[in-house]
Amino acid sequence: MRAEAERSRRAGSEAGEAFDRRLLAPMILGAVLNPINSSIVSVALVPIGAAFGAPPSQTAWLVSALYLATSIGQPVVGRLIDLYGPRRLFLAGTSLVGIAGLVGLLAPNLGVLVVARVLLGFGTCAGYPAAMHLIRSEAERTGRGSPAGVLTVIAVSTQTVAVIGPTLGGLLIAVGGWRTTFAVNIPLAVAGLVVGSLRLPRTPLPERTTRERPTARLDLPGMALFAVTLVALLLFLMKPGAGHWYLPALAVVAAAGFALRESRAAEPFIDLGVLGGNVPLLLTYARALLAYVVSYSFLYGYTQWLEDGRGLSASQAGLAQLPLFLTGILVSTLTGRHKEIRGKLLVGATGQIAACALLLLLHRGSAVWLLVAVAIVCGVPQGLNSLALQNSVYHQADPARIGSSAGLLRTFSYLGAMVSSAACGAFFSHRADTGGLHHLAWFMLAAGAAFLAVTVTDRSLRRIGKDDDETSLRPGTTRA
């Protein structure tokens, strides 16, 4: 089979085939569904809290609920995509996004809103793994093993909707109230269903014996233990304390059971043997967690401070975030086609530390120019880190498991988001004041310093971008 794939790759290369650009629309639309829901809610947290009389420690669940669902769902759906192809999972997930938008639009209380965010989390799980699966499939079909341009398009697209998110959220809230930030998912879901139905390729079901159940290739016990581990851990992170000692204990027991199950499963959900032997990929996941602790603390903590601590309206806070994301898009566009990864991560880590230090200078009367400076400095690592981490996984992961590997990248990213959300809830227990922001900034500085240390000591990053395209298609190697 590998020889046949190699002949197909060479044939595609000799024929000069290019990436099928009809796939770009569903890939981009699917990949942006989660980022737009991540960013748009940042300006809605304060209005929602005012509507239901809920402090930041409670509205933080609107952030954590989405990321908890997505952290569990991304690698699960990614594995399903590896087995059954992207079309089925993409269409099912997009349908769930539309349902979630309707539930949020009609929600009578904060609890139902949290349910809507959980549905959004599961619904948006398919987009990014599907995009990475399609990129790898097209690379093998055409023989072009390093589609830096397409990877850049996906990264810039997700950052572009991050630009639109806070600003669009502020405008929607000004026009129709915070419920419109949920309702926007309904037309997005309709567009996704139409484009996905028309352009995503149909994939035949994998061959199986007549006695084999349709779910026989799914490691359902492994998936369940993975979910229990994450839920227990993240519930503790949201409300740490000696009274909840049973949650980390449950997480440890479930993690041990998960490791035992995966070591014995014929087709494990996550092949820990392969993953454990791929140290560069594990370090990339660690970097993702640390980088996104800082990134999402800016998105949620800093935005809440702009409204509560600085006194801006929701629409003004959204506009104040524009320089951050515009800078990120510019940096990604200028650096996207450069294959070298280590330099991007070093600059990104240093930029995060500098941006965190600037937060310590802010107070209620801070000038607008200082707010703009903070946003611009933060925008540089925003543009470098997400693209570099995405490209790292593409080059380091086993091609046969690119969907689940990409899903795990998002899982670790969202773990960082949930740590960030827990920190915001802890430091902004009653309101997002300046004292809480400064405490959050010190926490972010610690995460940024750890991110820089992991990057400096990782020598494997030097090899990415120096191997040829032949190596890029072999599993278990660092790809160029």
What are the tens digits of pLDDT across the range 289-303? 999 999 888 877 888
End-to-end CA distance of the chain: 23
Greater pLDDT, 144 or 39: 39
pLDDT score recorded for residue 116: 95
Across the chain, what does the average pLDDT equal?
A: 81
Q: 478 pLDDT band (50/70/90 cuts)?
A: very low
What's the pLDDT tens digit per position in 48-61? Answer: 998 998 888 788 88
Q: Which two tokens stand for residue 324?
A: 């951050």
pLDDT at site 206: 62
pLDDT interval class at 468 (50, 70, 90): very low
Q: Supply φ then ψ for residue 146, to 5 degrees.
A: -135, 75
d(CA 90, CA 27): 9
The whole-angstrom separation of Cα 408 and Cα 296 is: 18
Domain ranges of the chain: 17-201+269-472, 219-268
Q: In which band, very low, low, confident or very high, does the pLDDT at 312 lie, cut at 50, 70 and 90?
A: confident
Structure tokens at 108: 């009578």
Distance of CA 351 to the CA centre of its chain: 20
Residue 372 has pLDDT above 80, yes or no: yes
Q: Is the pLDDT of residue 180 over 80?
A: yes
Asked which of 66-75, 331-340, 451-460 is least confident by mean pLDDT, the reply is: 331-340
List, for residues 382-391, the tens digit of each pLDDT value: 888 888 888 8
Select from 220, 212, 215 the least CA-distant residue to 76: 220
State what percent of residues in the chain have pLDDT above 90.
27
pLDDT of residue 308: 86
353 class by beta-carbon count within 10 Å (0-12 exposed, 13-18 middle, 19+ buried) = middle
CB neighbours of residue 217 within 10 Å: 15
- Token output for 159: 């950052």
Q: How confident is the model at residue 211 (pLDDT cuts 50, 70, 90)?
A: very low
CATH code at 17-201+269-472: 1.20.1250.20
Res 142 pLDDT > 90: no
Distances (CA, A) of 248 to 238, 260, 416, 417, 420: 12, 18, 17, 19, 18
Report whether pLDDT(63) > 50.
yes
Q: What is the largest CA-CA distance in the chain?
A: 71
- Asked whether residue 253 carries a pLDDT value surpassing 70, the answer given is yes
Whether pLDDT at 267 is above 80 = no
